[in-house]
Structure formats: structure tokens, C-alpha cells
Amino acid sequence: MSNPIRVGVLVSGRGRGTNLQAIIDACERGETAAQVSVVISTNPEAGAVERARRHGIEALIVDPQQFASQENYERELTRLLHERRVDLVCLAGYMRKLSPLFIGAFRNRILNIHPALLPAFGGQGMYGHHVHEAVLESGAKFSGVTVHLVDEEYDHGPIVLQTVVPVHDDDTPDTLAARVLEQEHKLYPQAIRLFAEKRLKVEGRRVKIVEEP
Ligand code: GRF
């Protein structure tokens, strides 16, 4: 594999890290021309930290509360990612809003995964179980997974890839979450592969997938 791109993964809170794991596994299997260069977590207890270290990947803890302002915190994140020559930032269970400062430093180079079909069931407060509960309450017959570029608003940037997941009559938030998560683990590595192959062309709000870069 020639020159794999360098990926930095951000996680926050408890961050169990199953998406991180799927990305690492896809890279190790050689399916994605990428390598995870660093994982940055707000919390030392996050499962993602342990998973990274098990694979010999650098895992850093950067606690926003140790900084005088959000701006200082994000400056540090930016510095650490630049220092490691990261080409692509992947949010994987990173629940904090990123400011224009950070987004500007990695414009169109930040991906997020959301456990529903955006633009429905997204936005502030729509994370974890809240998403699946809202889908079930709405009566929707389908949910899914969205990988999108990150912009200044929650769950709003241009959509890169989506997978549809059926909602079953007897679903609970847990059973739906599990079916969706299975698809997340396939879709995130796929999006990273397309990015690495320079096959994503952003045109306004639309991301076209081209055959050749
Ligand atoms: C996933 O459901 C993802 O869609 C959302 O946060 C969750 C992270 O799960 N953004 P994990 O830590 O990757 O297992």
C-alpha cells in the first residue's frame, strides 16, 4: 500500500470505541489506504483509549476542562493533529461541538458518523439512545447510518455515505441501536477509503463519489 493517509480519531465521554475498532481493523486488513496515527480522547476511561493502545496506536488524553477556554482546548487539538501530520480527522463518539477555528483548520477533512438517516433525527441532543428512541416514536419504518463531513452545525455537513436499516415492529431502542451499529462498522471504513482514494468531490452540500481522482 503506497502512502496511506494519516487518520486522527477524536472521542469524548465514555467512548466505547467500536467504530474506532472497525476503522483499525479495516486498516490492518489493508482494505483502506489509511492508518490511524493518533486517538485523542477527552477521558482516560474511554474504551477507545484501551483499544488504540492494544494496537500500538498513540492515545492522548486532552481534557477540555484543563483549558481556560474552548478556543485554547481546540488550539491544542489542532496542534497535536498537525504535529502528527494527520490528513483526516474522524469523530467516533465525539459529542462536543467543534468551533469554526478547528473546522477551518481541517475544512472538508473531518468526518462524523451518525446513527440515523440525516437530516432526520440529528442535531443537538440527538445522540446515543435519544436517536433510536426518537426514530421508534416517529413510527418511521427505516433508520440507518450517515457519514458526513463536519461543518459548524451539529449533524449538518455534506453527506458522504448512507446505509438504510429497517425498523422492526418489535424493536426497542437497544435492538435498533445494535442493528444500526453493525452497519456503522461497515460504512465508516468505506467512507475513509473513498477519502483516501481522493474520490470524494464536494460540490456545495453534495458529495459526489467519482471513479477516478
Ligand atoms: C456511534 O453510535 C456513532 O454513530 C455515534 O457515537 C457512537 C459511538 O460508538 N456518533 P462507538 O464508541 O464507536 O462504539
Q: What pLDDT, on a 0 to 100 scale, did the predictor assign at position 2?
A: 60
DSSP assignment letter at 55: T
**What is the per-residue pLDDT for 3?**
86
What's the pLDDT tens digit per position in 144-172?
999 999 999 999 999 999 999 999 999 99
Query: What is the distance of C-alpha 195 from the center of its chain?
Result: 13
Per-residue pLDDT band for 15 (boundaries 50, 70, 90) equals confident
| 114 a catalytic residue | yes
Per-residue pLDDT tens digits for 100-147: 999 999 999 999 999 999 999 999 999 999 999 999 999 999 999 999
Q: What are phi and psi of 202, to 5 degrees?
A: -90, 120
Count the neighbouring beta carbons within 10 Å of the beta carbon of residue 66: 11
- Measured from the Cα of 48, ligand 1's closest atom is 12
- Best residue among 11, 97, 113, 118 to mutate for probing ligand 1's pocket (most ligand atoms within 8 Å of CB) is 113
C-beta separation of 149 from 110 below 8 A: yes
Protein residue with its CA nearest to atom 1 in ligand 1: 93
Q: Is the pLDDT of residue 213 over 90?
A: no
Express each pLDDT in 78-93 by its tens digit. Answer: 999 999 999 999 999 9
**Rounded distance between C-alpha atoms, residue 176 and residue 167, angstroms:** 7
185 CA to middle of ligand 1, Å?
Answer: 9
Q: Taking CB atoms and a 6 Å cutoff, what residues make up the pocket around ligand 1?
A: 15-20, 92-93, 113-115, 181, 184
**Protein residue whose Cα sits closest to atom 13 of ligand 1:** 19
Integer Cα distance of 121 and 158 in angstroms: 16
- Cα–chain center distance at 112: 3
- Output the average pLDDT for the chain: 96
Which is catalytic among the residues 55, 82, 114, 129? Answer: 114
